Amino acid sequence: MSARATGGIDTQDWNEQTIEELEDGRKTTRVTAASRLTGDIQGESRVEFLLAYAGDDYCSFVGIERVNGSIAGHQGTFLLQEHGTFESGAIRLSWFVVPGSGSGGLSGLKGEGGYVWQGEHGVSAAYTLDYDLSA
């Protein structure tokens, strides 16, 4: 059974620490953050990102996010592998469910999706996850 989950992801905490910074504005940082998911996915998440800044207006990032919550009434946890960019004030993030990472009622979860954040609504973005729970 394939389905699409939609809703909001709200960043609750953001802790960014510089790993290395160069004089020309390039730098690498590590972020730990916490979020709340609402809508078709109900739950909390923790993520760790590595960011590579090419200046003030562009960075590329990768991350792993652990979600503890429910999808379509199925309770459990799963991991999302993420990658994206921050450019001209917008975040474009893509994610997929790490194969075999689902537990409990989300065991066997597969899927992919993401979100685009333009900054209009503070720290909230509308997400999608096209998923399959038939495993």
Please write the tens of the pLDDT for every residue from 101-131: 999 999 999 999 999 888 655 567 899 999 9
Q: Please give the pLDDT value at position 1.
A: 54
- Residue numbers of the domain that contains 29: 2-132
Total domain count for the chain? Answer: 1
Distances (CA, A) of 78 to 62, 64, 72, 88, 100: 17, 10, 14, 31, 8
* 121 vs 123: CA distance, rounded Å: 6
Contact call for residues 7 and 41 (beta carbons, < 8 A):
yes
- 88 φ/ψ sector (left φ>0, alpha ψ -120 to 50, else beta): left
pLDDT, tens digit (0-9, with 9 covering 90-100), for 14-47: 999 999 999 888 999 999 999 999 999 999 999 9
CATH code of the domain in which 71 resides: 2.40.350.10
What proportion of the chain, given as a percentage, has pLDDT over 70? Answer: 95
- Determine what percent of the chain falls in helix, strand and coil, rounding each to the nearest 5: 0, 75, 25
Distances (CA, A) of 108 to 104, 116, 123: 9, 27, 30
Q: Please give the average per-residue pLDDT across 39-60, as a whole number.
A: 95
- Bridge pairing between strands 27-39 and 74-87: unpaired
- The vertex-84 CA angle with 79 and 86, nearest 5°, equals 135
Q: Quick one: DSSP state of residue 89?
A: T
Question: What is the average pLDDT value for the chain, to the nearest integer?
Answer: 93
